[in-house]
Amino acid sequence: MSETRRVRVRFAPSPTGALHIGGVRTALYNYLFARQHGGDFILRIEDTDSQRFVPGAEAYIIEALKWCGIVTDEGVEQGGPHAPYRQSERKAIYLKYAQQLVESGNAYYAFDTAESLDALRKEYEAKGQTFAYNYAVRNTLETSLRLSKDEVAARIARGDVWVIRFKMPENENVEMDDLIRGHITINSSTLDDKVLYKSADQLPTYHLANIVDDHLMEISHVIRGEEWLPSLPLHYLLYRAFGWTDTQPQFAHLPLLLKPQGQGKLSKRDGDKFGFPVFPLFWTAPDGSTAMGYREEGYFPQAFINMLALLGWNPGTEQEIFSMQELIDAFSIEKVSKSGARFSPDKAKWFNAQYMKMADDGELAEKLLPMLAEKGINTTRERAAKAVSLIKERATFPKDLLPLTEYMFVAPSSYDEKSVQKFWKPENVENLKKLAAKFAEFDRITAAETEPAVHQWILDNQMSMGQLMNTLRIAILGVSQGPSIFDICEFIGKDETLRRIDAALKALA
């Protein structure tokens, strides 16, 4: 645990489905930490559960990280000095380590069947007790602890089912340190003899594979979800049993992400229930069910990351908008909060609106163009960018751009009844006709020159600014809303302005 050790962190998801936003946040914090310390960020796939493996999940994870702008230095995709990075491809290394633990007396073979253990659990339950596979019972069961070496070998050779279990010490206070939670002590007697190596699929369990790989990959810091806190003593003891305590990584357990309403941690179903995504990308499960994603809902990855970064971490300043580089510079593991954070869809939208305001007009135009084309409107990138600049501050998502700009390209086909009732009065209509005549005097309509001139003209003729402008607005847009009416008239041009006034006068006569 020397201070000079190179920082190497890993994100180690299990490919059992889409990557939940809680997982994305874990990956993000690891990434920020690595970058801040000039270290390495590694993506390792922990696919040691052959039962729950979901095809496509790994590809999803990789794509999600890419969309978020989280760049991996080593991993299943690009390889690296410690390849392979998929645990199923590292199968061969784990058994050796498990056996090493047996030889050193820290683990043992157990020959219980799933059925016999099941029966034991039921038996205890009937007595109102909870069965724990630990120091109290291990000597009464079929294990290498009481069987002779020859008999153990014979049983294995015979094909009996076996697992390797960790021999949890009895009544020892395990002292641990967590970068976020501080010092923690747990008595080992409350822990059980966890399975390290499974017979079912000849693969290690998470605990073994995780410790072995973190050691082999020279991981310096383990930053993971709080759900791992209960297994931290086991992991400490494993490092000790292997004799790796001098290079044991430091641990940081992140608080959980909670549901926006009600109780419990955020789950996949919450998205469906409350109408917001819990996954970064759209996901189609093997059973055909689907779940929406932030990307598809129109979130900017920067906004998504910004929102996620602040959910459980705070720099202590009042800054809220952070670029990835700013996050890297400001991040600190000590400032991660200890309690679970409730996810807020409203705040997520607010972040997106902030990024919308900052977005480049040209880039937004690229998103708008196809939407317009779908409506049969073809225009240039420049025109679209100009339209976007007029309205982007009132949009939250790129999809809002279409309804906000559509009327700038096509004349209204109908007029909002409420607005008409309010403003389309005989006097206003008469004034509108005069205004049209006034417009005709200009070579072209501009916000810079026409607007002040018309204002003065309205004053001189003792007309009502509010009444006339809204009447004009109805004629041009069909509704009484939107950005400055002179900006719009300038955008559509003098001819089109006069044409729309004329059309409205006829339609609403």
| Positions in 406-445 near RNA (CB under 7 A) | none
Alpha carbon separation from 361 to 141, 303, 385, 389 (Å, rounded): 71, 17, 5, 6
DSSP letter for each residue of 246-267? GGPPEEEEEPPEEPSSSSSB--
Cβ at position 2, least distance to RNA in Å: 26
Number of residues that bind RNA (CB under 7 A): 84
Q: Where in 63-102 is the site for RNA (CB under 7 A)?
A: none
Query: Is 161 one of the binding residues for RNA (CB under 7 A)?
Result: yes
Query: Is 14 one of the binding residues for RNA (CB under 7 A)?
Result: yes
Query: Is 393 one of the binding residues for RNA (CB under 7 A)?
Result: yes
Cβ at position 309, least distance to RNA in Å: 10
Q: Measured from the CB atom, is 5 or 349 closer to RNA?
A: 349
Give the x/- contact pattern for RNA in 445-474, rule: CB under 7 A.
------x---x---------xx--xx--x-
Nearest-CA neighbor of 339 among 410, 250, 254? Answer: 254
**Binding span for RNA by CB under 7 A among 70-78, 228-236, 275-283, 371-379:** 228-236
Query: Is 341 one of the binding residues for RNA (CB under 7 A)?
Result: yes
Q: Which residues contact 157 (CB under 8 A, 6 or more apart)?
A: none
Query: Is 177 one of the binding residues for RNA (CB under 7 A)?
Result: no
Give the whole-angstrom CA distance, residue 131 versus residue 109: 19
Give the whole-angstrom CA distance, residue 328 versus residue 330: 6
Note whether 29 and 22 are within 8 A (CB): no
How crowded is residue 316: how many other Cβ atoms within 10 Å of its Cβ? 8
Of the residues 91, 265, 268, 367, which is catalytic?
268
Query: Is 265 one of the binding residues for RNA (CB under 7 A)?
Result: yes
Nearest-CA neighbor of 145 among 194, 183, 110? Answer: 110
Query: Is 350 one of the binding residues for RNA (CB under 7 A)?
Result: yes
Report helix, strand or coil for 473.
helix
Q: Measured from the CB atom, is 34 or 163 closer to RNA?
A: 163
**Binding span for RNA by CB under 7 A among 108-116, 135-143, 287-295, 499-507:** 108-116
Cβ at position 307, least distance to RNA in Å: 9
Q: Measured from the CB atom, is 272 or 320 closer to RNA?
A: 320
Cβ at position 328, least distance to RNA in Å: 19
Q: Which residues contact 462 (CB under 8 A, 6 or more apart)?
A: none
Cβ at position 426, least distance to RNA in Å: 19
Cβ at position 198, least distance to RNA in Å: 3
Distance in Å from the first CA to the final CA of the chain: 84
Select from 103, 246, 318, 443 the one that contacts RNA (CB under 7 A).
318
Select from 113, 284, 456, 461 the one that contacts RNA (CB under 7 A).
113
**Binding span for RNA by CB under 7 A among 92-100, 101-109, 139-147, 160-168:** 160-168
Six token digits for residue 90: 């590292």
Note whether 245 and 253 are within 8 A (CB): no
Q: Where in 474-493 is the site for RNA (CB under 7 A)?
A: 480-487
**Binding span for RNA by CB under 7 A among 24-32, 225-233, 268-276, 373-381:** 225-233
Q: Measured from the CB atom, is 205 or 248 closer to RNA?
A: 205
The identity of residue 427, as a single letter, is E
The runs of H, that is alpha helices, within 134-283 are 149-158, 206-216, 232-242, 268-274
The yes-or-no answer on residue 268 being catalytic is yes
Cβ at position 217, least distance to RNA in Å: 15
Give the whole-angstrom CA distance, residue 350 versus residue 397: 10
Note whether 438 and 411 are within 8 A (CB): no
Segment (H or E) for 10: strand 8-11
Give the whole-angstrom CA distance, residue 509 versus residue 489: 22
Select from 85, 94, 206, 409 the one that contacts RNA (CB under 7 A).
206
Q: Measured from the CB atom, is 366 or 451 closer to RNA?
A: 451
Query: Is 344 one of the binding residues for RNA (CB under 7 A)?
Result: yes
Nearest-CA neighbor of 398 among 440, 352, 438, 464? Answer: 352
Cβ at position 38, least distance to RNA in Å: 25
**Binding span for RNA by CB under 7 A among 1-9, 28-36, 54-62, 307-315:** 307-315
| Residue 161: burial class (beta carbons within 10 Å; 0-12, 13-18, 19+) | middle
Query: Is 324 one of the binding residues for RNA (CB under 7 A)?
Result: no
Cβ at position 352, least distance to RNA in Å: 11
Give the whole-angstrom CA distance, residue 119 versus residue 187: 28
Select from 17, 22, 249, 255 the one that contacts RNA (CB under 7 A).
255
455-477: burial string, b at 16+ Cβ within 10 Å, e else: eeebeeeebeeebbbbbbbbbbb
Select from 40, 49, 142, 490 the one that contacts RNA (CB under 7 A).
49
Query: Is 268 one of the binding residues for RNA (CB under 7 A)?
Result: no
Catalytic positions, written as ranges: 268
